[in-house]
Amino acid sequence: MIPRWARLEKFLNYALIFLLPTQLALHFWPPTAFVFGVRVDYLAPSIYLTDVLFLTVFVFWIKYHNDKLFGFIKKNKVFLFLFLFIVILNTAFSTSFGPSIYKWIKFTELGLFYFYVRARGDIFNSRTLYATIFYSLIFFSVIGISQFVLGKTLGGPLYLLGERSFRISTPGIALTQILDRNFMRAYSTFSHPNSFAGYLGLGLLTLLFTYSKKELARRIWGILIICLAFVLTFSLSAFVGIVFCGILFILLRKKTFNTKSLVLFLTIFTLISLAQPLVSNFVLNTIPDLPQSVSQRFDLSSVAGKMISDKFLLGEGLNTFVINEPRIKHFGNYLWTLQPVHNVSLLLFSETGIIGLSFFYLVLIKLSKKATGLKGAPFYLSLIFILTSGLFDHYWLTLQQNMFFSVFILANSFRAEG
């Protein structure tokens, strides 16, 4: 490869990682992206800046290294065949073909991104990479902290990074109350503080496992800025995820992480998830004065339970949860509240059935076999953080920033093992 092109390629790769928190995109609005005349972001095919950056570096690299891609396909042909089989079945019986095929294409892109990160040890196994993640987290944390202080988004050139325009008085904005005063939670360039918190939490775990105590001490001010932004999101699900991972690490630090541990956690998380639809109506009827965010989650869990019982095997079709909501629950004049169920397992189960959910778990178990012993801790704790926060939210499956970052971290977390 010509040296100047090699330098440009390296720059584009690091730019991709630095800009993963952006949500700048070109959105398309076909008829299938509307539910009763209301535009739904989750259903709109979109081309993100990060899509363009990734596909640019991937196409340029694969031109000279297609043998690695063919080797990957040959090594994983059984899983890839199963994936293709599930895609065909799920889209064929989907309640809306367009949104389903778009989301399957997105999942395919994420699979290519995983392969690319694993194959590019020359790029993604360097101190420069982790410095890029560190400064990226600081940059986007400062944006979020500034929003909290000012009570509005910053505007200006940050629009090019995907920052949306709103202020504390805008209807529907996530607020928190401190000493009887309302504050706008930190959004940064994300669509919701919860997804921002999930991104920061996963980033913090990565830095804590990457840097030595001396390196962390030298970067303490940057770490504190990231932690402050994390706190100002006031995201309970991400807080629970971080605390749970911290407790696990303390309890298991002298023991090994293995596939059996992952199977146990997957079983526990699945049982907790499946219990939500069963108790939702009872909780809503017994405790009528629940906070809106809590009652909404139980409502959506109940809807998911109905979808699962209707189409247990194949699901309603990937990316069609929002389309099918009005069929199951009457929303009246509140169609703007349409969104996926706030639980990763329930969302996968309702959209892809038991077949899709089982395949997803098989993929995680297959990946876990590469991460064993104490060196596997970054992979397992990153995954457990995703699964724990995913008990209460959907962004790991629905939002570009979180999907790409989670795949990147999981692919890179056990590089030393593979």
For 54-65, write each residue's pLDDT tens digit: 999 999 999 888
pLDDT digits (tens, 9 = 90+) for 20-68: 999 999 999 999 998 878 888 899 999 999 999 999 999 999 988 888 9
Q: pLDDT at position 289, please?
A: 80
Q: What is the pLDDT of residues 222-264, one digit of tens each?
A: 999 999 999 999 999 999 999 999 888 887 765 667 778 788 8
- pLDDT computed for residue 256 by the predictor: 65
Coil/strand/helix, residue 27: strand
Task: Read off the amino acid at residue 266.
Answer: L
Range 363-382 average pLDDT? 78
The ranges assigned to domains in the chain are 3-123
Across all residues in the chain, what is the average pLDDT? 90
Listed residue (239, 153, 200) closest to 401, CA to CA: 200
pLDDT of residue 286: 85
Predicted confidence at residue 65, as pLDDT, reads 87
Please compute the mean of the pLDDT values over residues 113-140 and round it to a whole number.
91
Q: Give the whole-number percent of the chain exceeding pLDDT 90.
A: 67
**CA atoms of 198 and 203, how far apart (whole Å):** 8
pLDDT of 283 reads 87
Burial of 363 (0-12, 13-18, 19+ CB in 10 A): middle
Contact call for residues 381 and 205 (beta carbons, < 8 A): yes
Please determine, for residue 377, whether its predicted confidence score (pLDDT) is greater than 50: yes
pLDDT at 70 over 50: yes
**Cα radius of gyration (the chain):** 21
- For the cut 50, the answer to whether the pLDDT of residue 169 exceeds it is yes
Mean pLDDT to the nearest integer, 285-303? 85
